[in-house]
Structure 1
């Protein structure tokens, strides 16, 4: 078997180009790195000692980086796990996920807990996996040791997280954490919803608990606005520290973000596939699989998120894959108010965004920027992930933009097969995924390749 593998196509998405171009990407499979990019199609005669994969007109993309995933293992492995979650990721062209610090037990709030999580992940990962650390009350002295141990950054909640082992922080906790990491290059991420003492408490008396309108009214945009006002105010005290807003859903917070960015603060923002593809008006009665926090909002809000994404106010798009068992989703009763809030998406994101993007005139280069380049940069992986360039990991996706498929339970690779996307017809299908030059997923050949996953812990 040749030590090098070359991928050639009429349509390769390369950095610095505004459209796919004919090119050949050469990977040293033993090292797992891209060694050359030829801006022309190549033939076997031109590369005699190389395993040449010619995909014709299908697209060659860099592997996606999903920087917001809940894999939940150990502790809640019945919700999801490294084996099932990373298989779902790789089937959708996601070659790197960054695991959130909560929903597993223990949470990633100390080095010992990180070691426990890494031990659980060993030998189970079909894609590469990085880890976020967590900020909770009282663990500020754990942050620098966690950085030294390799976490990609930190996440905190400004509202109750939904799990008791990961409590939310107050303003003083945030300041203590920022003071610990202010002279580093890391990033502090915020679940940006905040209930102020004077916030009107939502009264459920007489409300229909199966109505999405009831849930939506209970999580108003003002919670996000108040949180982001606090974050940007604190950011002015630590202007060199990178801060990040996870899963922004409220368009009314966008002016605050724009002002902070215009002032020069290193603030970045993500939104999610569900906020860009679903609308509150279309959610049926009694369907908890649509519940997430912050919530999916109205169609007019969705359009403003798209505008912010296209003008750079929002930097990137992630899944926030946050599954649970069906009992916690209250599928039997349809009670949205007591159901677990989280949407399962792993494996579908690229197709979801491509399908919706056609209404907005978005091209594949923009999508690659949002799903690969910017997410890798956010997680501090921009020197090895997210681009087809020399020295980067040979993470390659073969993609057919014209293919269509229906989302069925049988198609879903994650553990608990509950998703609001079931029944939708999506455009754009991942045909093959290569991790560091090795074929790990082949749609036409029945799915996953090999019995032993080759993903690494980053």
Structure 2
């Protein structure tokens, strides 16, 4: 047996734990994992010395906003996927907004897919939208290969992507159930948050704390409960994105115990920052749901450490600086830049600070999203999987300054973390090595697959 690539002596992070082993790659696929590989490499092959480094499965970021086409000046495939690759990601799932027009039909999906295949450094899947405007398009979107359907239960910030009313969400879940797709929901109560905002605005409030108070945890809990009810009644697969509170995670876990097909995502920013950081940093940390108190964050960590959180996704959602500049905090665009930092947060805050096992880091960032969205060759270091991996140095802290997203108005800048990504490899090809990127990608559009079709 010969190999195109042999990774030697690394500490492989697998679901069963961490093991020192060699990994052989042929044709972009992992073909052998052994204590020592003695076979030769091909004439134009590569050997990597991974001694002293951890080999993580490539991050599968299930929640990013790269905004192309239409708002490429906010973020696009070129800069966005460089940031992802520098953070150890080899796969991302792009949301249907803030592309303009949003991905609400087959034509928009196919246009976005073409651009992604031309410009992205790494493989990707595409979410389709679920709104009152496109219920008649859901069958076409499913046929075209969407990874799932995304609905907002509160205002999205963009009028062209309106919130799903109860009937829209219910009917969308029924359609998703027929097609075997997951429905992802932004779970905040539209009526609740709208009225609280109106009351605050009527009183002339415009500060950071005023905004935070307009979206309390109860608005998340109400929407989570409603989404769980609809999922139970329709039999749909539900994915609750960016949950910000331990109470919401616990409610979802209770639903799972009762037989609801539900998974939970949280984001690095909810695990790393608190409301006090928003008051200190300002616009770069505005998001919805907002960042919470230290006590709520500790509850969220307890739920994660108990295994009740399935996925950590970045929810990378940048915007130009002029949209993040105002004395009125309500008027600022709500989105955090974080495509490059998911592993860093899980390794520093999780592994080093809270004792999160490395195999749990790999599951949260790679294996679980790959499994949930039926990307069965992704997210794992095992024979037969795509050779997607990151070489990570864990033994020394570093300051994160070398950022690659579009605007770099990034709240993680200047932070001290563990887990410096040295190299990222996509299907046996280096896309990021020591600060340098491949000159071009060979990205593939990914569609959900069954085991029988692999």
Task: Quickly name the TM-score band, shorter chain normalised.
Answer: over 0.9
Structure 1: unaligned runs, 5 residues or longer: none
Q: Higher mean Cα deviation, 112-121 or 184-193?
A: 112-121
Alpha-carbon distance in structure 1 between the residues aligned to 2:205 and 2:416: 31
Q: Higher mean Cα deviation, 128-137 or 275-284?
A: 275-284
Alpha-carbon distance in structure 2 between the residues aligned to 1:281 and 1:254: 22
Do the aligned residues in 2 keep the contact of 1:288 with 1:334 (CA within 8 Å)? no
Q: Which residue of 2 aligns with 1:4?
A: 4
Aligned residues: 440
* Deviation of the 1:314 alpha carbon: 1.5
Do the aligned residues in 2 keep the contact of 1:187 with 1:244 (CA within 8 Å)? yes
SS in 2 for 1:196: helix
* Deviation of the 1:433 alpha carbon: 0.7
Structure 2: unaligned runs, 5 residues or longer: 447-454
Do the aligned residues in 1 keep the contact of 2:285 with 2:336 (CA within 8 Å)? yes
Q: Which residue of 1 aligns with 2:147?
A: 152
Q: Higher mean Cα deviation, 156-165 or 246-255?
A: 246-255
Q: Normalising by structure 2, what TM-score?
A: 0.93
Do the aligned residues in 1 keep the contact of 2:266 with 2:312 (CA within 8 Å)? yes
Q: How does 1:34-433 map to 2 (within 5 A)?
A: 34-38=30-34, 40-42=35-37, 45-47=38-40, 49=42, 51-196=46-191, 200=196, 201-205=198-202, 209-210=206-207, 212-239=208-235, 241-285=236-280, 287-330=282-325, 333-357=326-350, 358-381=352-375, 383-408=376-401, 411-433=402-424
Alpha-carbon distance in structure 1 between the residues aligned to 2:209 and 2:247: 19
SS in 2 for 1:402: coil
CA deviation vs aligned residue, 1:4-49 (integer Å, no higher than 9, x gap): 211122411123x23x111121111xx31111221x134xx54355
Alpha-carbon distance in structure 2 between the residues aligned to 1:290 and 1:431: 27
Alpha-carbon distance in structure 1 between the residues aligned to 2:33 and 2:421: 22
* Deviation of the 1:206 alpha carbon: 5.4
CA deviation vs aligned residue, 1:242-295 (integer Å, no higher than 9, x gap): 111000013332342122011011111100000001111233357111100000
Q: Higher mean Cα deviation, 6-15 or 100-109?
A: 6-15
Q: Which residue of 2 aligns with 1:455?
A: 443
* Deviation of the 1:306 alpha carbon: 1.0
SS in 2 for 1:204: helix
Alpha-carbon distance in structure 2 between the residues aligned to 1:286 and 1:435: 35
Alpha-carbon distance in structure 1 between the residues aligned to 2:250 and 2:204: 33
Alpha-carbon distance in structure 2 between the residues aligned to 1:286 and 1:338: 16
* Deviation of the 1:124 alpha carbon: 0.5
CA deviation vs aligned residue, 1:393-415 (integer Å, no higher than 9, x gap): 1112111012332222xx11011
Q: Normalising by structure 1, what TM-score?
A: 0.92
The structure-2 alpha-carbon separation of the partners of 1:199 and 1:230, relative to structure 1 and needing over 3 Å to count, comes to farther
Q: Which residue of 1 aligns with 2:425?
A: 434
CA deviation vs aligned residue, 1:78-111 (integer Å, no higher than 9, x gap): 0000111011111111000000011001211100
